[in-house]
Structure 1
Amino acid sequence: MSGDEAKYELVDPQAKGFDAVQRAFANQVAYCRDNGAPITAAICQALHDLLETERGGAVMRRVRKWAGAPLADALPLRIAGGLHALHLAGEDDALSAIYLDQRVSNPQEIVADAIERHEAFLMPWLDGPPQTNEAGRSWAYAAAMLWLADRGLPAQFALNEIGASAGINLMMRRYFFDLGGVTAGPGGASMRLTPEWRGSPPPALKYDIVGARGCDVKPVDLTDPTQALRLKAYIWPEFTERFARMDAAIAAADTMPPEVARESADVFVERVLAEPPEAGVTRVVMHSVVWQYVPEYQREIVTRAMEAAGEKATEEAPLAWVSLEANRDTHRHELSVRYWNGKSGNGEDWQRLAVAHPHGSWVEWEAP
């Protein structure tokens, strides 16, 4: 199978076994290719091709016999992140030729050699899920708050983010947004997010963020160069603007680090919702490209907790749930919202507001 032939197929995300490993890598090739990431697609293609060989030492043996569900575990991105880290650290010139988009005739051999040379470095990258914190996705939170304010919810928002990673999106009060001509945030901000906007702009209102905190099972400290490098390694090298945004986020964290608790999603949400709501403030539980990594039992707990708290919400103290997650059919991300404010019918259904590029380079606004 070549990269051009790779097709994304819908499969059970909890499937296990060697066939599931092969399908996870094939899907990742297609996903990267279809989202403008040919270099990352080439790396994943080489890894896919290595599955049928004996190359790659202990790292690839572990990959071939992966004990969990490779798609749900984002197995291809775990090892791809480690290989990218080698390039960013300047540890393997032959591998870097691929990342620098130089013409190479044997990418599979280059990747196999790199894995075997750097086995001790790469093995720990298989131990945990990718960290894909991305400031470019915070457009969704800004647009959702404008939409919620237009629905009559208080424009004072307390943000609570599941899977906040390094807390980059929790610092969005310091970012400037231009959303189809509707602006928000400080005009002099170093982080400026201006996605290509398709369709009508969101409501031209104002909002304020009165609180921002999050959780992650493995929070990332942006002020630690080693942890910052790990986060950069999960950025696809094709998207150079994401590295600039990451540097801006690191600078912002040095000034005032975000509040990220080491907690699972269910524990965090139940704790947040157990606190008395504040009148005149809209509580928001939000997440982006995280839900697929949350165990099913935790998703069920979060959903029950949100719906139970939603039943107690009022016009003065509403509750909103904002989700920016991947639709694996379309390879696009969907911004969807539920909210409760004490009125009949609210909160019963998700309302899709927009679809977007995975990293926020363009947005198609669908909400009226």
Structure 2
Amino acid sequence: MANEPANRAAFDIQAGYCIAMDAPITARVCTALADALDRDSETGRRVLDWSGEPVADALALRLVGGLHALHRAGVDPALSAEFSGAETDPSCVSATLKATLVAQDAALLPWLDGPPQTNEAARSAGMMTGILHLAERYGPRFEVLEIGSSAGLNLLIDRYRFDLGGVNVGPSASPVTIHPEWRGAPPPGAPVEIESTRGVDIQPVDVADPVAAARLEAYVWVDAVERQARLATAIAMVREGGVDLVEGDAADWVEAQLAEPQPKGVTRVLMHSVVWQYLPPASRERIRVAMDTAGARATAERRLGWVMMEPNRDLHRHEVRVRGWPGERAMELVALTHAHGAWVEGLSAPYETRDYVMRRGAYEKN
């Protein structure tokens, strides 16, 4: 059921996340949109009448992505003044956004049709941290399965170089080095050999298409200059070397992949980042059941792992959780991380062993 106050509030909530992640321009746009949204455009009406859960649906970032795309296209000097940071007066920002929502209604409306494709290569730092914990437990050899792969940038996890608190992983000659600020305990210094990566997305992004690549770039916040440069390099890597990425339903694909033969001595790992909230509850349950069932079959020669980097919306942080089979160990919280991988905080044992929930305050979304 639509809840206009909650839908407006989602933009203020997103502004808080942006401030916490050092993105003041994007925060200012989100705050202004909470005021600027009205019913003079189809875009405004659709946002205000949104019937889903606006925070979990990333409603604010859908619209901000469209506005950023207009800025990048140079369609309106006043809008570009906001996205460049030249215009900071709240009333001026709000007035410009009101006008843009009407003038660019047809261009903005399609951006509400699906969740943001924020395919951030640096998020792989959190997932590699989880893999290092599994490598310490099970040995170096892995095959990686990823759901919600978007453009497949994190399927390049075997081609990136990582410096994680002084623990180095990956090819030294890689054009992309992921080197987040490291806090807390370092990850295990275990060797990692990723033998294959495969991924699925309900609507994969083909970065060979310039229009699709431009859309991906629009989802990177205008404040994040380093992320924009890293994205460009990662896109070039995908174009040059390709990735094994297919279109499909996450639950269907996981069930099929887990049924495939597994090489001896290899740990098969399911990984995902900022995906769980977008899956229907039935799909999440099917994936849980599929992993538990496959885990029950796991042996010392054919292991199974699960690495997730998903948001804790109450605490403005993301959590890296790891589970492995064989064994009865529960999902363990091994690290905290910035949403876009700017920093990682390694945790020390004993680890929290609670299943992931997106929020722990007003409500919990399993």
The TM-score normalised by the length of structure 2 is: 0.92
**Deviation of 1:277 (Å):** 2.1
Pairing of 1:318-337 with structure 2 (within 5 A): 318-337=303-322
Task: Tell me the amino acid that sits aligned with residue 123 of structure 1.
Answer: L
* Aligned equivalents of 2:125, 2:196: Cα separation in 1: 18
Per the alignment, residue 58 of structure 2 pairs with 74
Per the alignment, residue 360 of structure 2 pairs with none
Pairing of 1:181-192 with structure 2 (within 5 A): 181-192=166-177
* Aligned equivalents of 1:315, 1:19: Cα separation in 2: 53
* Aligned equivalents of 1:217, 1:89: Cα separation in 2: 27
* Aligned equivalents of 1:104, 1:256: Cα separation in 2: 42
* Aligned equivalents of 1:308, 1:81: Cα separation in 2: 39
Task: Tell me the amino acid that sits aligned with residue 143 of structure 1.
Answer: T
Per the alignment, residue 64 of structure 1 pairs with 48
Pairing of 1:124-143 with structure 2 (within 5 A): 124-143=110-129
Per the alignment, residue 21 of structure 2 pairs with 35
Gap runs ≥5 in structure 1: 1-14
Pairing of 1:104-115 with structure 2 (within 5 A): 104-105=88-89, 106-115=92-101
1:263 to 248, 251, 257: 248
Q: Deviations over 1:2-47 (max 9, x none)?
A: xxxxxxxxxxxxx742232123222112111222111111111111
Q: SS of the counterpart of 1:329? A: coil
Task: Tell me the amino acid that sits aligned with residue 259 of structure 2.
Answer: A
Task: Tell me the amino acid that sits aligned with residue 361 of structure 1.
Answer: A
Per the alignment, residue 164 of structure 2 pairs with 179
* Aligned equivalents of 2:143, 2:345: Cα separation in 1: 26
2:198 to 200, 203, 213: 213
Per the alignment, residue 355 of structure 2 pairs with none
Q: SS of the counterpart of 2:302? A: coil
Q: Is residue 364 from structure 1 mapped to residue 340 from structure 2 by the alignment?
A: no
Task: Tell me the amino acid that sits aligned with residue 13 of structure 2.
Answer: N
Contact 1:30 1:41 in 2 (8 A): yes
Gap runs ≥5 in structure 2: 350-366
Per the alignment, residue 149 of structure 1 pairs with 135
Per the alignment, residue 23 of structure 1 pairs with 9
Pairing of 1:253-332 with structure 2 (within 5 A): 253-332=238-317
67-76 vs 42-51, greater mean Cα deviation: 67-76
Per the alignment, residue 162 of structure 1 pairs with 147
**Deviation of 1:115 (Å):** 1.7
Identity fraction in percent = 47
**Deviation of 1:72 (Å):** 2.5
Contact 1:174 1:185 in 2 (8 A): yes
Q: SS of the counterpart of 1:164? A: coil
**Deviation of 1:142 (Å):** 1.7
Task: Tell me the amino acid that sits aligned with residue 211 of structure 2.
Answer: T
* Aligned equivalents of 1:29, 1:114: Cα separation in 2: 19
Task: Tell me the amino acid that sits aligned with residue 278 of structure 1.
Answer: P
Contact 2:131 2:307 in 1 (8 A): no
22-31 vs 288-297, greater mean Cα deviation: 22-31
**Deviation of 1:202 (Å):** 1.3
Contact 2:87 2:93 in 1 (8 A): no
* Aligned equivalents of 1:62, 1:146: Cα separation in 2: 44
Count of matched residue pairs = 347
The TM-score normalised by the length of structure 1 is: 0.91
Q: Deviations over 1:277-316 (max 9, x none)?
A: 2211100001001111111110011001101110110111
Q: CA RMSD in A?
A: 1.3
Contact 1:161 1:170 in 2 (8 A): yes
* Aligned equivalents of 2:159, 2:102: Cα separation in 1: 43
Contact 2:200 2:245 in 1 (8 A): yes
Q: SS of the counterpart of 1:360? A: coil
* Aligned equivalents of 2:88, 2:264: Cα separation in 1: 61
